[in-house]
A and B are shown apart, each in its own frame.
Chain A
Protein backbone atom coordinates (compact mmCIF):
# COMPACT_ATOMS: atom_id res chain seq x y z
CA UNK A 1 0.00 0.00 0.00
CA UNK A 2 0.86 3.64 -0.15
CA UNK A 3 3.13 5.19 2.46
CA UNK A 4 2.25 8.13 4.64
CA UNK A 5 4.76 9.67 7.00
CA UNK A 6 4.35 12.01 9.93
CA UNK A 7 6.90 14.24 11.54
CA UNK A 8 7.72 14.48 14.32
CA UNK A 9 6.77 11.12 15.80
CA UNK A 10 6.69 12.63 19.25
CA UNK A 11 7.04 16.10 20.67
CA UNK A 12 7.10 17.63 24.12
CA UNK A 13 6.45 21.33 24.44
CA UNK A 14 5.72 23.95 27.05
CA UNK A 15 2.25 25.32 27.56
CA UNK A 16 1.62 28.33 25.36
CA UNK A 17 3.89 27.34 22.52
CA UNK A 18 2.85 26.22 19.05
CA UNK A 19 3.64 22.89 17.49
CA UNK A 20 3.55 21.94 13.82
CA UNK A 21 2.95 18.37 12.68
CA UNK A 22 3.61 17.35 9.09
CA UNK A 23 1.82 14.64 7.17
CA UNK A 24 3.30 13.52 3.86
CA UNK A 25 2.13 11.04 1.25
CA UNK A 26 5.37 9.61 -0.10
CA UNK A 27 4.34 7.78 -3.23
CA UNK A 28 0.96 9.06 -4.31
CA UNK A 29 -0.97 12.28 -4.65
CA UNK A 30 -3.34 12.84 -1.79
CA UNK A 31 -6.23 15.02 -2.80
CA UNK A 32 -7.65 14.71 0.68
CA UNK A 33 -5.99 14.36 4.05
CA UNK A 34 -7.75 13.69 7.31
CA UNK A 35 -6.59 14.60 10.78
CA UNK A 36 -7.69 12.40 13.66
CA UNK A 37 -7.13 12.68 17.36
CA UNK A 38 -6.89 9.74 19.71
CA UNK A 39 -7.05 10.05 23.47
CA UNK A 40 -5.56 7.26 25.60
CA UNK A 41 -7.51 4.02 25.35
CA UNK A 42 -10.06 5.61 23.03
CA UNK A 43 -10.90 5.51 19.38
CA UNK A 44 -9.94 7.91 16.63
CA UNK A 45 -12.06 10.99 16.27
CA UNK A 46 -12.00 13.05 13.11
CA UNK A 47 -10.84 16.60 13.72
CA UNK A 48 -10.77 18.04 10.22
CA UNK A 49 -10.56 17.27 6.55
CA UNK A 50 -8.22 19.12 4.26
CA UNK A 51 -8.38 19.23 0.50
CA UNK A 52 -5.43 20.44 -1.49
CA UNK A 53 -5.68 24.11 -2.25
CA UNK A 54 -8.78 24.83 -0.22
CA UNK A 55 -9.73 25.55 3.36
CA UNK A 56 -10.04 22.70 5.78
CA UNK A 57 -13.41 21.50 7.00
CA UNK A 58 -13.52 21.17 10.77
CA UNK A 59 -15.73 18.85 12.78
CA UNK A 60 -18.10 20.29 15.31
CA UNK A 61 -16.35 21.26 18.50
CA UNK A 62 -12.89 21.59 16.96
CA UNK A 63 -11.49 25.11 17.21
CA UNK A 64 -10.34 26.35 13.82
CA UNK A 65 -8.09 29.02 15.28
CA UNK A 66 -6.39 26.57 17.58
CA UNK A 67 -5.81 23.74 15.14
CA UNK A 68 -4.56 25.32 11.93
CA UNK A 69 -4.48 23.04 8.93
CA UNK A 70 -2.72 23.75 5.68
CA UNK A 71 -2.76 21.50 2.63
CA UNK A 72 -0.52 23.37 0.27
CA UNK A 73 0.39 20.51 -2.04
CA UNK A 74 -0.84 17.08 -3.05
CA UNK A 75 1.75 15.44 -0.83
CA UNK A 76 1.84 17.59 2.29
CA UNK A 77 -0.61 18.69 4.95
CA UNK A 78 0.33 20.34 8.21
CA UNK A 79 -1.48 20.65 11.52
CA UNK A 80 -0.37 23.43 13.83
CA UNK A 81 -1.52 23.36 17.41
CA UNK A 82 -1.39 26.99 18.49
CA UNK A 83 -0.90 28.06 22.09
CA UNK A 84 -0.89 24.46 23.21
CA UNK A 85 -2.21 23.53 26.64
CA UNK A 86 -1.93 20.28 28.60
CA UNK A 87 -5.42 19.24 27.52
CA UNK A 88 -4.16 19.21 23.92
CA UNK A 89 -1.85 16.34 24.79
CA UNK A 90 -2.92 13.47 22.60
CA UNK A 91 -1.98 11.18 19.74
CA UNK A 92 -2.57 12.86 16.39
CA UNK A 93 -2.90 10.67 13.32
CA UNK A 94 -3.27 11.74 9.72
CA UNK A 95 -4.53 9.75 6.80
CA UNK A 96 -4.35 10.41 3.10
CA UNK A 97 -6.69 9.46 0.32
CA UNK A 98 -6.51 9.68 -3.42
CA UNK A 99 -9.30 10.72 -5.71
CA UNK A 100 -11.46 7.68 -5.06
CA UNK A 101 -11.24 7.91 -1.24
CA UNK A 102 -11.99 4.22 -1.29
CA UNK A 103 -9.04 3.59 0.92
CA UNK A 104 -7.16 5.80 3.27
CA UNK A 105 -3.55 5.33 4.24
CA UNK A 106 -2.59 6.23 7.77
CA UNK A 107 0.52 7.86 9.08
CA UNK A 108 2.29 6.45 12.13
CA UNK A 109 0.97 9.18 14.40
CA UNK A 110 2.48 11.97 16.47
CA UNK A 111 2.45 11.89 20.25
CA UNK A 112 2.09 15.41 21.62
CA UNK A 113 2.75 16.10 25.28
CA UNK A 114 2.20 19.62 26.56
CA UNK A 115 3.76 20.40 29.93
Chain B
Protein backbone atom coordinates (compact mmCIF):
# COMPACT_ATOMS: atom_id res chain seq x y z
CA UNK B 1 0.00 0.00 0.00
CA UNK B 2 1.10 3.51 -0.71
CA UNK B 3 2.12 5.75 2.18
CA UNK B 4 3.82 9.06 2.82
CA UNK B 5 6.04 10.12 5.69
CA UNK B 6 6.86 13.73 6.35
CA UNK B 7 9.75 14.13 8.75
CA UNK B 8 9.26 17.01 11.12
CA UNK B 9 5.82 18.29 12.00
CA UNK B 10 7.23 21.79 12.44
CA UNK B 11 10.11 23.50 10.67
CA UNK B 12 11.29 26.99 11.52
CA UNK B 13 13.64 29.02 9.34
CA UNK B 14 14.78 32.60 9.17
CA UNK B 15 13.69 34.84 6.34
CA UNK B 16 16.13 34.40 3.46
CA UNK B 17 17.29 30.97 4.62
CA UNK B 18 16.97 27.69 2.76
CA UNK B 19 13.71 25.82 3.17
CA UNK B 20 13.88 22.02 3.21
CA UNK B 21 10.77 19.96 3.89
CA UNK B 22 11.23 16.23 3.82
CA UNK B 23 8.97 13.63 2.30
CA UNK B 24 9.52 9.92 1.86
CA UNK B 25 7.08 7.66 0.14
CA UNK B 26 6.27 4.01 -0.15
CA UNK B 27 4.72 2.80 -3.34
CA UNK B 28 4.48 -0.52 -5.11
CA UNK B 29 4.13 1.17 -8.47
CA UNK B 30 5.76 4.22 -10.03
CA UNK B 31 4.11 7.00 -8.12
CA UNK B 32 2.74 10.39 -8.89
CA UNK B 33 3.87 12.73 -6.12
CA UNK B 34 2.53 16.09 -5.07
CA UNK B 35 3.27 18.94 -2.72
CA UNK B 36 0.41 21.12 -1.54
CA UNK B 37 0.37 24.24 0.60
CA UNK B 38 -2.47 25.16 2.93
CA UNK B 39 -2.91 28.55 4.51
CA UNK B 40 -5.10 28.84 7.63
CA UNK B 41 -8.76 28.08 7.01
CA UNK B 42 -8.17 27.58 3.32
CA UNK B 43 -8.09 24.66 0.94
CA UNK B 44 -5.09 23.09 -0.70
CA UNK B 45 -3.04 24.78 -3.37
CA UNK B 46 -0.87 22.66 -5.62
CA UNK B 47 2.79 23.66 -5.46
CA UNK B 48 4.18 21.07 -7.81
CA UNK B 49 3.81 17.51 -8.99
CA UNK B 50 5.98 14.68 -10.25
CA UNK B 51 4.47 12.47 -12.93
CA UNK B 52 7.46 10.43 -14.12
CA UNK B 53 8.95 13.05 -16.41
CA UNK B 54 11.89 15.15 -15.17
CA UNK B 55 13.08 14.20 -11.70
CA UNK B 56 13.63 17.82 -10.71
CA UNK B 57 10.29 19.51 -10.63
CA UNK B 58 9.85 23.25 -10.43
CA UNK B 59 6.70 24.64 -8.94
CA UNK B 60 5.14 27.91 -8.04
CA UNK B 61 6.50 30.53 -5.63
CA UNK B 62 10.09 29.42 -6.18
CA UNK B 63 9.65 25.92 -4.78
CA UNK B 64 11.11 22.82 -6.34
CA UNK B 65 11.37 19.15 -5.46
CA UNK B 66 13.57 16.32 -6.60
CA UNK B 67 12.34 12.79 -7.07
CA UNK B 68 14.97 10.29 -5.91
CA UNK B 69 13.87 6.76 -6.53
CA UNK B 70 16.85 5.21 -4.75
CA UNK B 71 15.98 7.11 -1.60
CA UNK B 72 12.19 7.00 -2.14
CA UNK B 73 12.21 10.69 -1.40
CA UNK B 74 10.58 13.81 -2.78
CA UNK B 75 11.89 16.65 -0.62
CA UNK B 76 10.65 20.19 -1.14
CA UNK B 77 13.11 23.05 -1.23
CA UNK B 78 13.23 26.79 -1.71
CA UNK B 79 16.52 28.71 -1.73
CA UNK B 80 15.30 31.74 0.19
CA UNK B 81 12.31 31.78 2.52
CA UNK B 82 9.81 34.62 2.55
CA UNK B 83 7.48 35.50 5.36
CA UNK B 84 4.58 34.66 3.07
CA UNK B 85 5.79 31.05 2.87
CA UNK B 86 4.61 30.40 6.42
CA UNK B 87 1.91 27.75 6.05
CA UNK B 88 1.21 24.03 6.32
CA UNK B 89 2.74 21.84 3.63
CA UNK B 90 1.47 18.43 2.64
CA UNK B 91 3.19 15.77 0.58
CA UNK B 92 0.89 13.33 -1.18
CA UNK B 93 1.18 10.23 -3.33
CA UNK B 94 -1.31 8.88 -5.80
CA UNK B 95 -2.57 5.35 -5.77
CA UNK B 96 -5.11 5.08 -3.01
CA UNK B 97 -7.54 2.22 -3.34
CA UNK B 98 -10.13 4.55 -4.85
CA UNK B 99 -7.71 6.55 -6.93
CA UNK B 100 -7.48 9.07 -4.13
CA UNK B 101 -4.37 10.81 -2.89
CA UNK B 102 -2.69 9.69 0.30
CA UNK B 103 -1.40 12.53 2.38
CA UNK B 104 1.41 12.87 4.82
CA UNK B 105 0.71 14.36 8.22
CA UNK B 106 1.90 17.76 7.12
CA UNK B 107 4.74 20.07 8.09
CA UNK B 108 4.10 23.50 9.48
CA UNK B 109 6.64 26.01 8.20
CA UNK B 110 7.35 29.07 10.30
CA UNK B 111 9.48 31.93 8.96
CA UNK B 112 11.20 34.24 11.41
CA UNK B 113 12.04 37.82 10.46
Contacts and interface: CB of A to CB of B under 8 A. Distances in A.
A102 B94 contact: yes
A107 B105 CA distance: 19
Contacts of A34: 98, 100-101
Chain A interface bracket (under 10, 10 to 19, 20 to 34, 35 or more): 20 to 34
Nearest to A105: B46
B67 to A, nearest CB: 15
A93 B88 CA distance: 15
A102 B43 contact: no
Interface in A57-115: 57, 91, 93, 95, 97, 101-104, 106-109, 111
A43 B106 contact: yes
A108 B43 contact: yes
A12 interface: no
Interface in B94-108: 94, 96, 98-101, 103-106
B44 A106 contact: yes
A104 B101 contact: yes
B interface, by DSSP: helix, strand, loop or mixed?
loop
A28 to B, nearest CB: 15
B39 to A, nearest CB: 10
A18 to B, nearest CB: 23
Contacts of A104: 100-101
Interface of A: 1, 6, 32, 34, 42-44, 46, 49, 57, 91, 93, 95, 97, 101-104, 106-109, 111
B42 A108 contact: yes
Contacts of B42: 108-109
Contact of B96 (A43, A46, A102, A111): A46
Given A43-B106, A102-B32, A57 B98 contact: yes
A43 B98 contact: no
Interface in B5-62: 32, 36, 41-46, 49, 51
B23 to A, nearest CB: 12
Contact of A97 (B41, B45, B99, B104): B99
A44 B93 CA distance: 13
